[in-house]
Chains A and B, each alone.
Chain A
Amino acid sequence: NAGVMQNPRHLVRRRGQEARLRCSPMKGHSHVYWYRQLPEEGLKFMVYLQKENIIDESGMPKERFSAEFPKEGPSILRIQQVVRGDSAAYFCASSPPWGVYGYTFGSGTRLTVV
């Protein structure tokens, strides 16, 4: 039973390009969360999704950032026209649709904008 799979592990983009980060939740988990972490900082919540629905995007920047979790396939975090300030580690986590459980995290995608 594989855990949360994120890819790529490392992503380098030039300023102005697009970054696509993928997350496949743990089997049986239908809730997906995206967090951003800057060096020596905690995790900042970005967006919470269920299949085909954005439940809470209060942590997402208003521009250039979008997220989806389609009926089939992984969740995608998309950053358009990246800037140097977008450089960070982006973590995806998933949880089951019932009860109260801890999140299962992926290993993250480290985005570097050059």
Chain B
Amino acid sequence: SQQGEEDPQALSIQEGENATMNCSYKTSINNLQWYRQNSGRGLVHLILIRSNEREKHSGRLRVTLDTSKKSSSLLITASRAADTASYFCATDSGNTPLVFGKGTRLSVIA
């Protein structure tokens, strides 16, 4: 079953703008992760946030997690054309395989 649900499904912004993607999930989790997928390629791990963390940064990425609302957001600051990709959130509940959402397709226009 699909655990994460990303919002919006598609997002188009100008280069230099910030991009925010949201993820909601249904059941309790141990960790939430964000991945990027360029067209026709495999997924690349971006960042992992544990259930007891509220915010995490990695370069131009900022992830927040609100376990009371069962939601997470991924912010990409100062976007570049190379950030064009699909972004997926994925959750695990202990020793369980990751469950992925359907993703947000981000287009960054130069």
Please determine whether A102 and B96 come into contact, CB atoms closer than 8 angstroms. no
Please determine whether A45 and B98 come into contact, CB atoms closer than 8 angstroms. yes
Which of B37-45, B59-67, B73-81 is found at the contact surface with chain A?
B37-45
Chain A residues, Cβ within 8 Å of B46: 102
Given contacts A43-B88, A100-B30, A105-B43, contact A33 B48 (CB under 8 A): no
Please determine whether A91 and B97 come into contact, CB atoms closer than 8 angstroms. no
The docked-state distance in angstroms from the alpha carbon of A44 to that of B33 is: 16
Please determine whether A91 and B100 come into contact, CB atoms closer than 8 angstroms. no
**Least distance between B11 CB and chain A CB atoms (Å):** 15
**Least distance between B58 CB and chain A CB atoms (Å):** 11
Which of chain B's residues 91-106 have a Cβ closer than 8 Å to chain A? 96-103
Q: List 23 A-B contacts (CB under 8 A).
A: A4-B42, A33-B97, A41-B102, A42-B2, A43-B43, A43-B88, A44-B100, A45-B97, A45-B100, A91-B43, A100-B30, A100-B31, A101-B48, A102-B33, A102-B35, A102-B46, A102-B48, A103-B98, A104-B45, A105-B44, A106-B42, A108-B41, A108-B42
How many chain A residues touch B (Cβ–Cβ < 8 Å)?
Answer: 21
Which of chain B's residues 1-60 have a Cβ closer than 8 Å to chain A? 2, 30-31, 33, 35, 41-46, 48, 50
User: Closest residue to A101 on the B side, CB-wise?
Assistant: B48
